[in-house]
Each structure stands twice: as structure tokens, then as C-alpha cells.
Amino acid sequence: MVGPSRPQFVLFGSSITQFSFANGGWGAILADVYARKADILLRGYLSWNSRRAVQVLDQVFPKDAAVQPSLVIVYFGGNDSMGPHPSGLGPHVPLPEYVDNMRKIATHIQSLSDKTRLIFLTCPPVNETKVRESQSKFLSELVRTNELCKVYAQACIKLCQEIGIKVVDLFTAIQKRDDWMNVCFTDGIHLSAEGSKVVVEEIMKVLKEAEWKPSLFWKSLPTEFAEDSPYDLIAADGTKTLNGSDWIIHRDIMWD
């Protein structure tokens, strides 16, 4: 642990989470937006489903940890929603069990501390044609359809409404773009930079509108070591320095 301590935001999920720091991913965007404000911690696991997530909850989120996260963003469901394999192997999880597993995840994370906030992300849609074209010769056929994704996404939303936690409907949000099938994925499943922008936009809406105290929206959090200094960059008139602690001139999107 390095100091000073900052709020910790944990991204917990399957490959869409594990890959979120690659290629302009949504985790990397969040890390930039929250630079000097919060630490974005990645706990993403390729090919995992909600069943495996439940098995490691105590290891990933120990209740006796000295510091508990301020925010946990959870994504499971895409792999759960895959069609079952005749062997019984693979990531498919029946819908009732998926809902029960997500409830267990929510209950555990909410028990960590009174200040730990939670956001669930639903399944995004998929580009079914691209999924088939990208099929690896080393894998059995992937049964990934938007019909299945929609069912699991709706179940996730319903659960969140029942237990009162925030949810981002990625299945709907991504499809608001007319060109979503062509620009939002790298392989029909995993998110491109454009797809990740949609994720961040929706997460920011939740963080800005949530009536959490303290607010976790990036503009509401203090910037670390933001005091004026004679070592800052010198102004054009040569008489003073300019504090650039909160400059965001490098960003293409302001995320307001």
C-alpha cells in the first residue's frame, strides 16, 4: 500500500472487466478520470461466470480487510448467458442460479462497510455474425445470442430494482448507437474503445446522480496534493506560478 490513502474503486467481473485497461478500455478511462482522486483496482477474470465469482468472494473482498472499497462495479452475465454445452462443462449458468449468485455478490459487498457503494453492469449485446467469424478453432462453438443476453440483462435489472442497488443497462445503452455492431466490439463480444466510452458515460451518469454521501462523482472528490507551489509551471507574465492539479486539457471527453 502506498500513501496517501485514496478511495478505492474495484472493478470485479469477467473478461470485459479484465480487458478494461487495454485499447482505450473503460477501466483505463476511469483511472484517468480519477487520477489523484481514487485508485481503480482491477479484479477481472477471463471466462468467469457468477458461479465462480461467488466461490471467491471472501478472498477478493475479505470482510476483515483494514481498508474497504468505496465503490465496487460488478459485471457478470455474458458468460452465464451462453447456451449450455451437452457435456455439462463450460460457463453457462441457468437463469435462476445467475440471479441468486448476483444477489449473493450484492449482499456480500454491501456488508463490507456502510460506505461501500455498488453498481452492477448488465450484459451488453453482441454482434452475432462477428462472434461466429471470430470463433477460435481451439474452442467449442460459442452460443452467444442477443436473445439470451437480453434475458440475463433484464433479470439483472429486475434484481437490482428489488434490492435497491444501482444498475447500468449496457444492453440498451450500447444499442442506442446506430453503428453499434460495427464500432463497439473488437470480436463481437469484447468492447472496443468506442464501446468502452458508452460504459463510462453510463457509469458517470450513475455517479453524478446518486445521492450518496460522500459523492463519488469525480468532480466531488478532492485532488491529492493540490496546494499551490512555487515549483508549478510559471505563468506567461513571469510573476507567478499556475497550479495545474486539476487541468484536464489532455482529454478528448470531459465526462461532465
The residues assigned a catalytic role are 14, 187, 190
3-state helix, strand, coil in the chain (%, to 5): 35, 10, 50
Coil/strand/helix, residue 45: coil
Secondary structure of 58-100 as H, E, C letters: HHHCCCCCCCCCCEEEEECCCCCCCCCCCCCCCCCCCHHHHHH
The DSSP bridge pattern shows strands 233-234 and 241-242 to be antiparallel
The answer to whether 185 and 191 have CB atoms below 8 angstroms apart is: yes
Closest CA to 16 of 187, 237, 239, 143: 187
CA 163/CA 124 separation, integer angstroms: 22
Q: Interhelix angle for 95-110 vs 146-163, to 10°?
A: 40
**Residue for cell digits 452460443?**
143
